[in-house]
């Protein structure tokens, strides 16, 4: 029998299950999502599940279960099941789906910590790290910056200077899969029952880190993946694994574009330290663009606030505003469309 507490099951989730209409069915957590098949880990092992029609009806893409969601299912045969219910979502990491204006995509749910992975070569990009931080902190998930491939050699002073404002807000780790002590430090940072998701561009080493963290004996095996010469394996799906029974890791495929899907920009201002200065703006609703008595602009002019961080804030805020306005419009459209459908149905019924 599998102890689901190691996967993050707790009293609160149990209460939610008891309050649902399905308290006598099996619960489990989604490890991997294939097209229409969901792999669910439960007390009785791994089940291949599908959704009931009801769970699909009238749902937008982002409301379908994702990796990390807790679901209730009816088992059948040996290891098959039908998912009938999803426990209310918490701490879900979303992003804006590329090529859309307001479509969200759920990356992982019930996440405690999100590791933003960048490699210490051309991939390193402070602005991109800020973008991830903004999305992650909006969801009450703890962001952590991981700068990987330290063995390649990098200008430590230059990097430290660039991430100074980030390091004031969130933990920053410098890692290398060839330096076991750096992996151990990362592992110690993930507590039992916690869920950590790894996000970042393709090729930065997310899967390598997840694999290294899962090795029983990191000291003995950490350099094996380099020496096997298997070549690169690009991840194609979001996959959940258990780290030596003390933490759940979710690996994700690299994304070229990580669009913001956030509705309010307070946490953005907070994480980029704009709110520290905004408190002293003359107007409560100051937008920090050209208002008189704007303390944010003053801080930029005096050099207290890095102009690049300020510009990054404006850019991300514009993007967030754009997303939330488009999402609002979309919801309104969806609503009036479903109203229309209802009316047509009613009219048909009265013939």
Contact residues toward ligand GTP (CB under 6 A) are 148-149, 151-152, 176-178, 202-208, 225-226, 232-235, 253-254
| Binder of residue 288, out of ligand GTP, Zn ion, Mg ion, none (CB less than 5 to 8 A by kind) | Zn ion
Residues in touch with Zn ion (CB under 5 A):
281, 286, 288, 294, 296
C-beta closer to ligand GTP: residue 196 or 271:
196
Residue 219 beta carbon to ligand GTP: minimum distance, rounded to whole angstroms: 16
In whole angstroms, what is the distance from residue 296 CA to residue 272 CA?
12
The kind and range of the H/E element at 57 are none
In whole angstroms, what is the distance from residue 240 CA to residue 38 CA?
12
| Binder of residue 294, out of Zn ion, Mg ion, ligand GTP, none (CB less than 5 to 8 A by kind) | Zn ion
Indicate whether 42 belongs to the interface with Mg ion (CB under 5 A): no
C-beta closer to ligand GTP: residue 50 or 151:
151
Indicate whether 92 belongs to the interface with Mg ion (CB under 5 A): no
Which residues, in sequence order, are CB contacts of 128 under 8 Å at separation 6+? Answer: 118, 201, 258
C-beta closer to Zn ion: residue 190 or 294:
294
Within a 13 Å sphere around the CA of 325, how many CA atoms are in the beta-carbon half? 6
Residue 147 beta carbon to Zn ion: minimum distance, rounded to whole angstroms: 32
Comparing C-alpha atoms, which of 319, 272, 331 is closest to residue 95?
319
In whole angstroms, what is the distance from residue 164 CA to residue 205 CA?
23
- Tokens 């194609």 belong to residue: 236
Beta bridge partners of 106: 94
C-beta closer to Zn ion: residue 170 or 320:
320
In whole angstroms, what is the distance from residue 207 CA to residue 217 CA?
17
In order of 14, 67, 155, the CA distances from 20 in angstroms are 10, 21, 55
C-beta closer to ligand GTP: residue 229 or 303:
229
Indicate whether 207 belongs to the interface with Mg ion (CB under 5 A): yes
Residue 282 beta carbon to Zn ion: minimum distance, rounded to whole angstroms: 8
Residue 127 beta carbon to Zn ion: minimum distance, rounded to whole angstroms: 22
Residue 198 beta carbon to ligand GTP: minimum distance, rounded to whole angstroms: 8
Residue 181 beta carbon to Zn ion: minimum distance, rounded to whole angstroms: 44
C-beta closer to ligand GTP: residue 95 or 317:
95
For the chain, helix, strand, coil in percent to 5 are 40, 20, 40
| Binder of residue 286, out of Zn ion, ligand GTP, Mg ion, none (CB less than 5 to 8 A by kind) | Zn ion
In eight-state DSSP terms, residue 171 is -
What pairing do the DSSP bridges indicate for beta strands 80-86 and 45-51? Answer: parallel
In whole angstroms, what is the distance from residue 210 CA to residue 219 CA?
15
Which residues, in sequence order, are CB contacts of 275 under 8 Å at separation 6+? Answer: 266, 269
| Binder of residue 203, out of ligand GTP, Zn ion, Mg ion, none (CB less than 5 to 8 A by kind) | ligand GTP
Indicate whether 235 belongs to the interface with Mg ion (CB under 5 A): yes
Size of the site for Mg ion (CB under 5 A): 3
Residue 273 beta carbon to Mg ion: minimum distance, rounded to whole angstroms: 32
Interface with Mg ion (CB under 5 A):
206-207, 235
């Amino acid at each position: 029998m599998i102890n689901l507490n190691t996967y993050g099951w707790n009293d609160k989730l149990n209460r939610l299950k008891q309050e649902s209409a399905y308290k006598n069915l099996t619960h489990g957590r989604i490890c991997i999502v294939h097209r229409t098949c969901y792999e669910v880990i439960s007390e009785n092992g791994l089940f291949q599940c599908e959704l009931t029609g009801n769970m699909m009806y009238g749902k937008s893409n982002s409301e379908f279960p994702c990796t990390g969601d807790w679901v209730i299912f009816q088992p059948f045969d040996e290891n098959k099941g039908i998912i009938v219910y999803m426990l209310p979502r918490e701490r879900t990491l979303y992003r804006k789906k590329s090529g859309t204006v307001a479509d969200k995509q759920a990356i992982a749910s019930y996440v405690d910590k999100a590791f933003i992975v960048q490699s210490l070569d051309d991939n390193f990009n402070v602005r991109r790290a800020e973008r991830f931080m903004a999305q992650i902190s909006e969801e009450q998930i703890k962001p952590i910056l991981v700068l990987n491939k330290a063995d390649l050699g990098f200008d430590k002073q230059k990097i430290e200077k660039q991430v100074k404002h980030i390091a004031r807000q969130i933990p920053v780790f410098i890692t290398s899969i060839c330096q076991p002590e750096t992996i151990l430090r990362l592992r110690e940072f993930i507590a039992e029952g916690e869920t950590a998701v790894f996000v970042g561009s393709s090729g930065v080493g997310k899967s390598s880190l997840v694999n290294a963290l899962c090795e029983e004996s990191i000291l003995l095996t950490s350099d094996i993946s380099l020496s096997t010469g298997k070549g690169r394996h690009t991840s194609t799906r979001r996959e959940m694994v258990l780290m030596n029974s003390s933490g759940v890791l979710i690996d994700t495929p690299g994304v070229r574009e990580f669009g913001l899907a956030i509705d309010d920009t307070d946490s953005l201002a907070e994480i980029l330290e704009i709110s520290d200065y905004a408190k002293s703006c003359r107007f409560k609703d100051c937008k920090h663009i050209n208002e008189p008595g704007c303390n944010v602009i003053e801080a930029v002019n005096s050099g207290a606030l890095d102009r690049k961080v300020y510009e990054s804030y404006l850019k991300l805020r514009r993007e967030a505003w754009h997303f939330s306005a488009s999402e609002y419009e979309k919801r309104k459209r969806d609503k009036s469309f479903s109203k229309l459908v209802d009316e047509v149905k009613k009219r048909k019924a009265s013939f």
